[in-house]
Amino acid sequence: MTESASKTADFRKLMDAKFERRVFSDLLVRIIGYCILGLMTGLLLAIVGYVAILGLGSISFKMFVTVGNTSTGGLANAIVGTWELVGMGLLLSLPVGVFGGLYLSEYSSRYTGGVLRLFVDILTSIPSIVLGLFGYLVLVIELNMGYSLLAGGLTLGVMMIPYIMRISEISYSNIPGETREAAFALGANSMQVSLRLLLVQARVGIMTAILLSISIAAGETAQLLYTALFNNGYTTGLTHEPVAYLTYVIWYSLNQPTPYAHALAYSAALVLVSSIFFLLLLSKYIGRGK
């Protein structure tokens, strides 16, 4: 045997020696994974199951078509109001988020991008009750909107911006540089590259961001308490007209003494959780191609 061949043989032995331990640690990783999966499944089933059992026991078709005041009536005003608020929030957060993300991914310098990202991250971590207070002082009082769709929606919108901006930033960044180069080499300008290439290519990511931010916004309570208050009927105006929403029904009705109020709360929880569930499934389904 030559010297190098014997070395090779030694190395082979060395590398095979620990293999049983490695088989075990390989298994261990999977066991830990399954444990966590089990825990999460249990938690989720418990929460969703609880809401489902309580909700299904109380909900009726009539609740979807009648307005209510948190102790009597239905949920129709709260369901419509939730969508109105979220829609108003999107009106603000969608353009700001989508173009902010574009700016972060494509045009910001290391410095300006860093500053903007920091601001956005700080915004995410501001407690929603503080945002609500801000909305109350600035929008409701100072700008004289009153408790309203505009005040509540804009406050929600501020909260939605970071999600849309950061997720869409990631979707733009995932588009390979060669794709941009190809467009520039054909004579495209920055606007054309942004609108005809990046925005189109990132649409799945943007859609996911929108659905995620809707489902988060729909579950907010604290900031709406100060800006939208509650309305026993539908809201049709933009300002000086409070808005109903589902989380308020849950929060308020549970504190009421009557069993019907509790039934309203459970039903509102079920409607909310199943809508959010549906939105998240939808976003997974849309994102499935990628």
Using the contact rule CB under 8 A, the part of the chain among 8-16, 31-39, 95-103, 194-202 near another protein is 194-202
What's the rounded Cα separation, in Å, for the pair 145 and 101?
A: 30
Contact 163, 97 (CB under 8 A): yes
State the distance between the two ends of the chain, measured CA to CA, in whole angstroms: 54
What's the rounded Cα separation, in Å, for the pair 91 and 69?
A: 28
Rounded to the nearest whole angstrom, what is the least distance from the CB of residue 207 to another protein in the complex?
Answer: 16
Using the contact rule CB under 8 A, the part of the chain among 5-13, 16-24, 32-40, 193-201 near another protein is 193-201
Q: Count of CB atoms within 10 A of residue 112's CB? A: 12
Cβ-based nearer residue to another protein, 138 or 204: 204
Using rule CB under 8 A, residue 192 touches another protein = yes
Instruction: State the binding string over 144-183 for another protein (x if CB under 8 A, else -).
Output: --------------------------------x-xxxxxx
Using rule CB under 8 A, residue 257 touches another protein = no
Contact 211, 283 (CB under 8 A): yes
Using rule CB under 8 A, residue 26 touches another protein = no
Using rule CB under 8 A, residue 201 touches another protein = yes
Cβ-based nearer residue to another protein, 25 or 179: 179
239: left (phi over 0), alpha (psi -120 to 50) or beta: beta
Using rule CB under 8 A, residue 251 touches another protein = no
- List contacts with another protein (CB under 8 A): 176, 178-189, 192, 196-197, 200-201
